[in-house]
Structure 1
Amino acid sequence: MKRKWMISIILSVIIAGAGVSGVLYLQDMMPAKLEEASALVQTSNNDQADEEPVTREEEEIIEESQDRVFQITAPNGEQGSGFLYNEKGDLLTNAHVVANTREVTITTSDSKELSGEVIGISTNTDVAVVRVPALNENAPLPLERENKAEMLDNVLALGSPLGLQNTVTTGEITGLDREFDIAPFEYRGLYQISAPIQPGNSGGPLIDAETGHVIGINSAKLDKEGIGFSIPLPDILDLVERWSESPMESLPEIQDTVGGPGEGYNTTPVDQATYIVEYFYESINQGDFVTAYSLIGSSWQGDNSYENFRQGYSNTLSVKVDDLIPKQSGKNVQVTAFITVEENISGEVEIKKYKLNYIVGVENDQIKILSGKGEEVSS
């Protein structure tokens, strides 16, 4: 039987795609001086402890998908995500991302800005369609139209959390048929996922890691919990395809939106700092050193070239994060990470534990890991 969640959890559920203006909460940073650290300061990990590194097949799916996932920005600066779902240049997204606006700005994976128009939106199901004429006749993402996902299916969540475009997180389907209400929207039959999502992810695709097909729309998360929710694609395709065939002449006003333009939910600086460190770890575990390097501040980069940064992982086989402890520190946030590292030392595999301290703050309006230092600790 379908499990129905009680309305009492609603207060702990936040819309994942709410505007990312909260990224700018940390302002006027005090200059942070990088402290010398061992190569382990750079060693990172996916926050899914048992997750395997991304396979070649998954890498190919990610590469093929990213150009068809876009950042959507409302006139007031609120941001979310959307993905190309047909050859008419139509993007599928969440209603709360584009609520109460007709014109939006679409940013491509190579940072080009395009004009988009909301042509359909629901007042009770959190979905909407944005038409982008410049994307007409472009190949869309492949869609799963009929089959529902099953427990423990591997998934990829794509989008622009906290304004970090082309972000990919990995996880599994950890629950089925979840239900709750966040006025004015009703969420029914949701997938529960372990792939980390954050503000800006809303409207982005949930992709089957084996087939490469879109199976859902990332829409919400439990506050301070590593649990996200996606709307199954087969449940809403008929609705959105009607809008693509016959666009709405006038759009309904959506009342009491949580996360819509003008009423965006903003995560705290502590939440943002924790997420950026998690994303750093995940990028390293995926072998995406370019992204990981881009997440560190200019002072750190100035003292550590990309070549040296990457070389710091030459002996690292795997990393498991045991705990992340964030703490507000003036205008910055200190994130203490406890990790277990599997290393190749002179041909022998050794297991070591480390404590690392990162300082996270805003640099040029972007969240960065400004500095870090680490030390080995006893088992």
Structure 2
Amino acid sequence: MRTSKCFIGWLFAALGLFLATEVVAELADTIERVKPSIVVVGTYKKTNSPPFVLRGTGFVIGNGNLVATNSHVVPDTLEPDAPVLVIQTRNASGESQVRRAYLATRDKDHDLAVLRVDGAALPALKLRDSNLVREGLSVGFTGFPIGGALGFSPVTHRGMISSITPIALPGATAQQLNEKVIRRIKGGTFNIFQLDATAYPGNSGSPVFDTESGDVIGIINMVFIKGSKETALSQPSGISYAIPVNFLKSIVDIP
């Protein structure tokens, strides 16, 4: 009997190891498919030092010439002598390239923006119906954490949807708390994804994707900070938030 129990225990352990190995391999394959669609969103001016400044992460959607990101990543105004809006991506041979970008549309209420970029089409990610997302879904997100301090190679974190909860996004400053924003805060909350994963400055605009299919279900928007902004790096909370991708689909014609 003892031998039989030992064999069953060994069998379950082996099965668990096999399933864990399958999950890791599956995620590795998904990351490989997702990474070519991840871009740096920033500004560029040849006479500045440095000429390129990272503002956040974006990902390619639609026909390959559209990039989704957060509205707060895109400058509100671009003066004639200001740095131009650009994305930095990699070509098929892995070389870095900078392309001019233009604001196509934005939705400040949900902190979303879509850019149109010059040049040949880039590989696009598929957008899933985020209304079908359930708590407990395993997800990953890829971007450029800590403002590019780790370099401009995409970095992936993983976690799960820990909660789908109502939230309102107030303006970043008191000057932005106008009548429209106050009305929205009082009665215009919408559902947002809470993740048990840590995002950092630079991850804003990163796609949140199903680890199995690579389909995008949300866009990283913010991280819960305990204390000052400086503690976001030294003492991360492990709680991040993402805007459901259906709000993105509502401002751009993508099925």
What TM-score do you get using the length of structure 2 for normalisation? 0.68
The residue identity in structure 2 corresponding to 1:125 is: H
Equivalent AA in structure 2 for residue 93 of structure 1: T
Q: Which residue of 2 aligns with 1:118?
A: 103
Taking the aligned partners of 2:102 and 2:124, their CA distance within structure 1 comes to: 18
Q: Kindly tell me: are residues 67 and 112 of structure 1, through their superposed partners in 2, closer, same or farther at Cα, counting changes over 3 Å?
A: same
Moved more, 117-126 or 60-69: 117-126
What is the CA distance between 1:83 and its match in structure 2?
0.4
The answer as to 2:154 corresponding to 1:166 is yes
Q: Is the 8 A contact 1:128 1:240 kept in 2?
A: no
| Aligned with 1:134 (options 105, 119, 131) | 119
Indicate if the aligned counterparts of 2:138 and 2:159 stay in contact, CA closer than 8 A: yes
Distance in 1 (CA, whole Å) between partners of 2:120 and 2:144 is: 19
Distance 2:206 2:191 in 1: 18
1:210 Cα deviation from its structure 2 partner: 1.8
Paired-residue identity, %: 27
More contact order relative to length (CA 8 Å, sep ≥ 6): 1
Verify the 8 A CA contact 1:192 1:228 in the aligned structure 2. Answer: yes
Q: Check conservation: 1:82, 1:92, Cα contact below 8 A.
A: yes
Aligned residue among 87, 90, 95 for 1:106: 87
Equivalent position of 1:152 in the other structure: 136
Asked if 2 retains the 8 angstrom alpha-carbon contact of 1:88 and 1:131, the reply is no
Query: CA-to-partner distance for each residue in 1:304-355, whole Å, 9 max, x for gaps?
Result: xxxxxxxxxxxxxxxxxxxxxxxxxxxxxxxxxxxxxxxxxxxxxxxxxxxx
Residue 91 of structure 1, CA deviation: 0.3
Residues 217/135 of structure 1: CA separation in 2 closer, same or farther (3 Å cut): farther
| 1:107-140 residue CA offsets vs partner (Å, 9 max, x unmatched) | 114422221111112232200011112243x331
My pick for the range that moved more, 139-148 or 161-170, is 139-148
Aligned partner of 1:207 in structure 2 is: 209
Instruction: After TM superposition, give the deviation of residue 208 of structure 1 in Å.
Output: 0.7
Match of 2:63 among 56, 77, 87: 87
What does residue range 347-358 of structure 1 map to in structure 2 within 5 Å?
none
Q: What's 2:73 paired with?
A: 97
Residue 250 of structure 1 is matched in structure 2 by none
Aligned to 1:63: 32
Could you say which residue in structure 1 is the equivalent of 2:41?
Answer: 72
Paired AA for residue 65 in structure 2:
G
Whose helix proportion is higher, 1 or 2? 2
2:34 alignment partner AA? S
Alignment RMSD (CA, Å): 2.3
Kept after mapping to 2: 8 A contact 1:178/1:192: no
Residue 175 of structure 1 deviates from its aligned partner by 0.7
**Contact 1:190–1:231, Cα closer than 8 Å, also in 2:** yes
**SS of structure 1 residue aligned to 2:110:** coil
| TM-superposition CA deviations, 1:187-242 (whole Å, max 9, x none) | 73100001210001011100011221000000001003210000000133121339
Residue segments in structure 1 that go unaligned for 5+ positions in a row: 1-51, 243-379
1:15-34 alignment runs, 5 A limit: none
User: In 2, Cα distance between the equivalents of 1:78 and 1:84?
Assistant: 17
Q: Out of 222, 240, 246, which is 2:252 matched to?
A: 240
State the match for 1:192 in structure 2. 194
The 5 Å alignment of 1:4-19 reads none
Residue type of the alignment partner of 2:169: D
The one-letter code matched in structure 2 to 1:139 is P
**Which residue of 166, 174, 177 maps to 1:178?**
166
Cα distance in 1 for partners of 2:166, 2:89 equals 32
Structure 1's consecutive aligned runs of 4 or more residues displaced over 2 angstroms after TM superposition are 74-78, 122-125, 145-148, 184-188
Q: Cα distance, 1:95 vs. partner?
A: 0.3
Q: Would you say how many aligned residue pairs link Structure 1 and Structure 2? A: 190
**CA, structure 1 residues 235+105, in 2 after alignment: closer, same or farther (shift >3 Å)?**
closer
AA at the equivalent of 1:58: L
CA separation of 1:240 and 1:174: change in aligned 2, threshold 3 A: same
Does structure 2 conserve the Cα–Cα contact (< 8 Å) formed by 1:192 and 1:229? yes
The residue identity in structure 2 corresponding to 1:201 is N
